[in-house]
């Protein structure tokens, strides 16, 4: 009877990131009650290391209010699993989930968002890789502070990614002269992308974040049709012109069956560094309106802030440059929302199925 009361108390506790209770979400494991002491494991389906102390306290405070409970032992952790993709493409070996970050046009902060999203997922406890898929204009080596490094190959076939800030990085920018323009046609570009993805020794990753070039061309189509993308994040600004192009990117993913995980709105407002005056230079409400039109969520709004640009130019994105700052907190909240959206998708069980081999006998 006492255990049932404890269960009812847990059923009333809401996860702030998912909006669902821990019990129905099956986050509660190994629940025991002996001698007035409750012990349990709270296993989240997404990385949220920064939130572990708050979750532990949330559960303790609720259960200590139950009659007969004198102490509560809670262990909070995350367990990230592979999720199936809509088109039934087999998952990439060792990579549980692939997140594409896209925009309809350039200059909206997509690459900056990709870098900080990858770093935020890593900061929350996940194993993360970052693939720069912009063959014509790779910027991640500079943003991640590894532009002067070159990846190694052990067997002249597979390449070791470059690790920085706890994230594994791969980009065409590592393999070419930065002064050399990539005068390639579409088929060469898509072949380069698939090689970068398939010939990199990623190891075991919870998430691979792919920074796509702007637009809806060959690279985007190849990625969405041949690569097992779990979901896409659309980056835009509130400006009407940017939103027009962002809609095209969103509709492209819809057509090829890639779920939209959410919209990130950059440059939502400008905060004056002298007086603190807030002004929506590029308009306001665009991302919210677009999300409502297409049945997806605006998962984050970032200010037009000088420090964001200075940090990536210096090769140290905001999440690692100012990990306890307000902007890093926004990126971490976006990362948790993206991971929650991924966790809500159906799991991939293909690795558990036996392989069927047909032989002539």
CATH number of 2-78: 3.30.300.130
Binding-site residues for ATP, please? Answer: 104-111
CA distance 143 to 352: 39
Q: In the 8-state DSSP scheme, what is residue 304?
A: B
H helical segments located in the chain: 2-11, 52-63, 110-123, 140-143, 186-198, 218-226, 240-255, 286-294, 306-313, 318-321, 326-343
- Considering the entire predicted model, what is its pTM? 0.89
Helix (H, G, I), strand (E, B) or coil at 330: helix
pLDDT band (50, 70, 90) for residue 63: very high
Return the pLDDT at 90. 79
What gap in Å lies between CA 184 and CA 30, rounded to an integer?
A: 56
The b-or-e profile of 115-130 (16+ CB within 10 A means b, else e) is: bbbbbbbbbbbbbbbb
Give span(s): CATH 3.30.300.130, the chain: 2-78
* pLDDT per residue as tens digits for the range 89-103: 778 889 999 999 988
Task: Kindly state the percentage of the chain with pLDDT values over 90.
Answer: 44
User: Residue 356 pLDDT more than 50?
Assistant: no
Given this model, what pLDDT does residue 41 score? 95
Our CA angle for 81, 84, 85, nearest 5°, is 135
What's the pLDDT score for residue 184? 60
Classify domain 95-343 by CATH number: 3.40.50.300
If one compares 137 and 35, the residue with the highest pLDDT of the two is 35
Binding site, annotated residues: 104-111
So what's the pLDDT on residue 353?
44
Q: For residue 348, is pLDDT > 70?
A: no
341 CB-contact burial (10 Å; exposed 0-12 / middle 13-18 / buried 19+) = buried
Tens of pLDDT, residues 127-180? 999 999 887 778 898 999 998 888 888 787 889 999 999 999 998 888 776 666
Secondary structure (H, E, C), 81-141: CCECCCCCCCCCCCEEEEEEEECCCCCCCHHHHHHHHHHHHHHCCCCEEEEECCCCCCCHH
DSSP characters over 165-184? TTEEEEEGGGTS-TTS----
d(CA 227, CA 248): 20
The better pLDDT of the pair 98, 109 is held by 98
Is the confidence at residue 284, as pLDDT, over 80?
no
Tell me how far CA of residue 164 lies from CA of 119, 129, 141, in angstroms. 10, 10, 10
Would you say 211 and 171 are in contact if contact means Cβ atoms under 8 Å apart?
A: no
Residue 179's pLDDT is 64
**Mean pLDDT for all residues in the chain:** 85
Residues of the chain with CATH 3.40.50.300: 95-343
Q: What is the pLDDT of residues 300-316, one digit of tens each?
A: 999 888 889 999 999 99
Whether 108 contacts 236, CB under 8 Å: yes
């Amino acid at each position: 009877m006492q255990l049932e009361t404890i269960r009812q108390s847990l059923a009333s506790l809401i996860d702030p990131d998912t909006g669902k209770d821990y019990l129905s979400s099956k986050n509660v494991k190994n629940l025991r009650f002996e001698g007035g002491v409750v012990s349990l494991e709270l296993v989240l389906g997404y990385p949220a290391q920064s939130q572990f102390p708050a979750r532990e306290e949330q559960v303790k405070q609720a259960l200590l209010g139950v009659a007969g409970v004198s102490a509560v032992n809670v262990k909070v952790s995350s367990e990230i699993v592979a999720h199936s993709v809509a088109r039934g493409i087999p998952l990439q070996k060792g990579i549980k989930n692939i997140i594409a970050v896209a925009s309809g046009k350039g200059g909206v902060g997509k690459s900056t968002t990709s870098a900080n999203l990858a770093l935020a997922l890593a900061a929350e406890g996940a194993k993360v890789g970052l693939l720069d898929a912009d063959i014509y204009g790779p910027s991640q080596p500079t943003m991640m502070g590894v532009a002067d490094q070159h990846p190694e190959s052990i067997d002249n076939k597979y390449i070791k990614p470059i690790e920085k800030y706890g994230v594994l990085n791969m980009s065409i920018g590592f393999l070419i002269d930065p002064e050399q323009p990539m005068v390639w046609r579409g088929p060469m570009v898509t072949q380069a992308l698939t090689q970068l993805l398939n010939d990199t020794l990623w190891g075991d990753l919870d998430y691979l974040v792919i920074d796509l070039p702007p637009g809806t061309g060959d690279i985007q189509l190849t990625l969405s049709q041949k690569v097992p993308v779990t979901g896409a994040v659309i980056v835009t600004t509130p400006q009407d012109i940017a939103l027009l192009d962002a809609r095209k990117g969103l509709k492209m993913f819809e057509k090829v069956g890639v779920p939209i995980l959410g919209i990130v709105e950059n440059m939502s407002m400008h905060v004056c560094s002298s007086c603190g005056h807030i002004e929506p230079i590029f308009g306001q409400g665009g991302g919210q309106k677009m999300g409502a039109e297409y049945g997806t969520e605006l998962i984050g709004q970032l200010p037009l802030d000088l420090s964001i640009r200075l940090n990536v130019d210096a090769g140290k994105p905001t999440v690692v440059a100012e990990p306890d700052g307000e902007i890093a907190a926004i990126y971490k909240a976006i990362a948790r929302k993206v991971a929650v959206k991924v966790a809500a998708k159906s799991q991939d069980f293909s690795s558990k199925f036996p392989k069927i081999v047909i032989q002539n006998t």
